[in-house]
Amino acid sequence: MSQTRVLAAGAVAAMLSIACSAPSFPPPGSVAEVADRIDALRQELDGSPGPLPVSFAAAGTATQRVPVELLADGFPEAPDLDMSHPVFVAEWPSGSQLVVDPGLATRACPDFGTPAEWVGGEEIVCAGERDPWAERIRPDSVAAVVFSHLHVDHVSGLSEICRLCGDVPCQVPVALSSLQETSDETHEAAGRGWLDEADVAGCIVPTRLGAEAQDDGRPRAIAADLPGAFWMPLPGHTPGSQLTFVFRRVEGELVGYVIGGDVVNYAPAICEDGHPKPWLYRTFVVREDEERQAWNRALLRELDARGYRVLVNHHLDAERTEGRLCPPGEAGQEALGQIRSIETGMPVMKAWLLSGS
Ligand SMILES: [Zn+2]
């Protein structure tokens, strides 16, 4: 075969592999090993008197009722879900704030909801400009903005934070990991476009989150002046996906919150094996690494069992039993089998929840 043909065949094979398979991210050890490392961090924090966040809150930037079959396999009887699009804000005694996943911008919101409407969802309800940004986020106090991954529904809300600056010049530090910067996953690259747009407004200061970061299952500090806030690469949904940890004391007890991003979009899917996202979604919409995603779900299940408050971005009002998403023991398995109602009556929109004032 001529060299040209070899090159051509190689190029075709490469294109086919791009079209047919998701990038592969082998797990960085066993689930128990990685959970042990996170536990070691929790113990270290528990033994130190350093300042932790005085509050940790979330608010909806949009909500949309959708059939659960659009989000996870294996729950045919589950009632429709009010899919949440939250922004998370932690605040320290110094007044410094950490923003995780600014959510959907007012401008991006209606279009984002359209594809789900085509396949059985209701019209998306957008929070609008007044909520929730103005209520809690002070752009000049934001010490870092981080993202579970760079999809439009997690990134575009940054422009609303910039809007709060008004005529007063402000500089919001936005921290991407090297894995996020180099990811060429289609939707992640599109998310970077939303960052560029906010940057044009002169509002953001790009910074690097852990320049040497590897997918090694180790949590890392987000910033020296944000004690108790950590991130850890967790590729699988996208190459640049990551977990965020926020530790704070609630009534004297150290509580670890885990912002799970889009590892799952329906909380019960972490509680037992075999509930991936629908095949069409993970093959043609966002090319997930399903092998790694199964491990990622098992990690969230393990953290839930060890007492962490696992937060599923798009299912923030998931029902909990004694703080757990997955009820323990045999009774818990039975409850899961019956599919619990998610209608808790808690308003997903405008709700500042979790803990602290
Ligand atoms: Zn999402």
Q: Rounded CA gap, 187 and 240, in Å?
A: 11
| CA 300 to ligand 1 centroid distance, Å | 17
| CA 32 to ligand 1 centroid distance, Å | 27
The arithmetic mean of pLDDT across residues 278-301, rounded, is: 95
| CA 47 to ligand 1 centroid distance, Å | 35
Residue 124: how many other CB atoms lie within 10 Å:
22
Q: Rounded CA gap, 233 and 236, in Å?
A: 10
pLDDT digits (tens, 9 = 90+) for 167-193: 777 899 999 999 999 999 999 999 998
- Which band of pLDDT confidence, cut at 50, 70 and 90, is reported for residue 251? confident
Tokens for 95, please give them.
Answer: 């007044």
Decide: helix, strand or coil at residue 57. Answer: strand
| CA 151 to ligand 1 centroid distance, Å | 6
Range from 196-205, 232-241, 291-300 carrying the lowest mean pLDDT: 196-205
**What is the percent of the chain with per-residue pLDDT over 70, rounded to a whole number?**
84
Residue 131: predicted pLDDT = 58
pLDDT digits (tens, 9 = 90+) for 70-114: 999 999 999 999 899 989 999 999 999 999 999 999 899 999 999
Across the beta sheet with 125-126, what order do the strands follow? 125-126, 55-66, 81-91, 97-100, 142-146, 172-177, 204-209
| CA 305 to ligand 1 centroid distance, Å | 24
- Beta strand 229-233 with 81-91 is unpaired
Strand segments (E) across 199-354: 204-209, 220-221, 229-233, 242-250, 253-259, 309-311
Q: How many residues comprise the chain?
A: 357
| CA 11 to ligand 1 centroid distance, Å | 32
The structure's pTM equals 0.88
Tokens for 298, please give them.
Answer: 């098992």
Q: Rounded CA gap, 355 and 255, in Å?
A: 10
| Sequence ranges of the domains in the chain | 27-338
| CA 78 to ligand 1 centroid distance, Å | 20
| CA 343 to ligand 1 centroid distance, Å | 20
Alpha-carbon separation of residue 237 from 60, 221, 281, 284 (angstroms): 22, 22, 11, 13
Q: Which CATH architecture has domain 27-338?
A: 4-Layer Sandwich (3.60)
Q: Rounded CA gap, 124 and 121, in Å?
A: 8
| CA 13 to ligand 1 centroid distance, Å | 31
Q: Cα–chain-centroid distance for residue 175? A: 15
Range from 57-71, 126-140, 199-213 carrying the lowest mean pLDDT: 126-140
